[in-house]
Structure 1
Amino acid sequence: MSLKVDRASMAFTFKGGMLPMTVMELASADPERIREQLSGKLSQSPAFFQHTPVVLSVEKLDEPHLALERICAVCRAHKLLPVAVRGGPDPVKQSAWALGLGWFPPNDGARVRTLEGVSAVESGPDVPDPSPEPASTASGGRIYRGTVRSGQQVTAPDGDLVVIGAVNAGAEVLAAGSVHVYGALRGRALAGIHGDTMAGIFCRELRAELLSVAGNYKRLEDIDPQLLGTSVQVKLCDAQLGITSLS
């Protein structure tokens, strides 16, 4: 009997990859305190609260039982979509599953790399993306030649990523080390995805939708308009994301 599967008849395939995910680290289990803070955040950055999927991290809480359903309801009322819980004892895990949420073990640096505001959730080995020219690798880094198109994701999970071209809006580039873009950066760039605080982002023309270095991030609306369209470097300084001109 042949075990060969007719791919034309397959309804789906599983693919590994790295997806950016916002991690909401709870310092309080009180739904009302969470509601109050989210209301303030919503008034400051309404664009962020547009059905953003979040992982609820309860690692800092020392409570065996949480009002998880109420916390999720508060999040949804503020246009956040809880998709999973990270950490917590077995009752928390069971509650998450009962609510149809996923569950991640506490962050041990293996499966979920917290980027504080943004995190890369690893679901398996990286899947190569189509590129107009074969990528080169050296010392764990990666060189990508050509434009990273909308909907594409290019990663360098073990080193720096160099893009000799542009990164279009809706595209995403990620690296364990630094990200270098020798063209316009209009999409999302995440450096230091495993927590490397010495990583940075360097681009010839800044128009990014999102910038992140080791968990500290800025969105387009947070960037000084005077820096848009210029050559910049993005580095961490005193746990704050700083953007300075290279020109």
Structure 2
Amino acid sequence: MSLNADSADVAFTFKGGMLPMTVMELTSADPEHIRRQLAGKLSQSPAFFQHTPVVLSVEKLDEPHLALERICAVCRDHKLLPVAVRGGAEPVRQSAWALGLGWFAPVEEGRARALESVSRTPISTAEETAQAETTSSEIESHTAVTRLFRGTVRSGQQVSAADGDLVVIGAVNAGAEVLAAGSIHVYGALRGRALAGIHGNTHAGIYCRELEAELLSVAGNYKRLEDIDSQLLGCAVEVHFTEEQLEIKPLG
């Protein structure tokens, strides 16, 4: 097909994006053990188990051969939809692909590769200091960009700040979405979806005058409306990622 073909002939386009995803971190490889715990969770939060896509993290398991097909079946029996596996040995990766699932490298492996790459490049103390100062300056200028949006973010609308904080002087309606590399400040009611730290910044936060959000996310860690303490709804709050979970508390 010609690159200049009419847009009507284009069947799809690839776009980068960051979607909220629940990670199910397995500490047991026993499908029946998992089934029992899921049954208990289902009775506590039935709304959560409504076709929720999950990534199965097997990083804490020392099992080269998992009963992955049975574990996926258990999840589907409880309305969870496995879409990928994170971690595991080569047989686990092959099993994931055979089941039509994606596969992600373990988190620590990615970090180790980055550290190894740095350690292979010896630099002098003076160069290291200059490099650190340059990097610090670049980061500071990069994150200093703040986007100001005046008005209501309406249903179906998305407003984003790809390089810094987002400030909304108005409300965010249900069905709307606001995203930021840094923090999100809403000087009104937050009824839609708010995703802060979309590039992995765990120090980002969400601040709003009236909390009614459909979804809150900081660095990919999120809570749905049904998971939020009802006493905080309608209140001014701040949201941060603390001790491996989202903390929502009154603003003041």
TM-score by length of 1: 0.77
Q: Which residue of 1 aligns with 2:208?
A: 203
2:176 paired with 1:171: yes
Distance 1:241 1:20, change over 3 A: closer
Q: Deviations over 1:61-118 (max 9, x none)?
A: 221111110000000000000111112222111111111111122225979xxxxxxx
Identity of aligned residues (%): 80
Q: Which residue of 2 aligns with 1:77?
A: 77
Q: Which residue of 2 aligns with 1:107?
A: 107
Q: Which residue of 2 aligns with 1:97?
A: 97
| CA distance in structure 1 between the partners assigned to 2:219 and 2:17 by the alignment | 19
Shift of 1:43: 0.6
Higher-strand-fraction structure: 1
Distance 1:20 1:237, change over 3 A: closer
Conservation of the 8 A alpha-carbon contact between 2:190 and 2:210: yes
What SS class does the counterpart of residue 62 from structure 1 fall into? coil
Shift of 1:215: 5.6
Q: Deviations over 1:118-165 (max 9, x none)?
A: xxxxxxxxxxxxxxxxxxx97244333333333444443443222222
Of 225, 228, 235, 2:233 maps to 228
Conservation of the 8 A alpha-carbon contact between 2:151 and 2:170: yes
Conservation of the 8 A alpha-carbon contact between 2:181 and 2:196: yes
2:15 paired with 1:10: no
Q: Which residue of 2 aligns with 1:58?
A: 58
Of 136, 149, 164, 1:144 maps to 149
Shift of 1:236: 4.7
Shift of 1:3: 3.9
Shift of 1:238: 5.0
Structure 2: segments with no counterpart, 5+ residues = 112-141
Structure with higher Rg: it is 2
| CA distance in structure 2 between the partners assigned to 1:148 and 1:109 by the alignment | 40
Structure 1: segments with no counterpart, 5+ residues = 112-136
Greater relative contact order (Cα 8 A, min sep 6): structure 1 or 2? 1
| CA distance in structure 1 between the partners assigned to 2:57 and 2:206 by the alignment | 27
RMSD over aligned Cα, in angstroms? 2.8
Q: Which residue of 2 aligns with 1:122?
A: none
Conservation of the 8 A alpha-carbon contact between 2:237 and 2:250: yes
Conservation of the 8 A alpha-carbon contact between 2:20 and 2:217: no
Q: How many residues align?
A: 222
Conservation of the 8 A alpha-carbon contact between 2:166 and 2:183: yes
Of 169, 188, 191, 1:186 maps to 191
Distance 1:156 1:30, change over 3 A: farther
TM-score by length of 2: 0.76
Distance 1:153 1:31, change over 3 A: farther
| CA distance in structure 2 between the partners assigned to 1:80 and 1:98 by the alignment | 19
Deviates more, 1:230-239 or 1:11-20: 230-239
Letter paired with 1:4:
N
Conservation of the 8 A alpha-carbon contact between 2:25 and 2:58: yes
Distance 1:195 1:4, change over 3 A: closer
Q: Which residue of 2 aligns with 1:159?
A: 164
Shift of 1:239: 4.9
What SS class does the counterpart of residue 18 from structure 1 fall into? coil
| CA distance in structure 2 between the partners assigned to 1:66 and 1:158 by the alignment | 41
Shift of 1:194: 4.8
Higher-helix-fraction structure: 2
| CA distance in structure 2 between the partners assigned to 1:138 and 1:58 by the alignment | 34
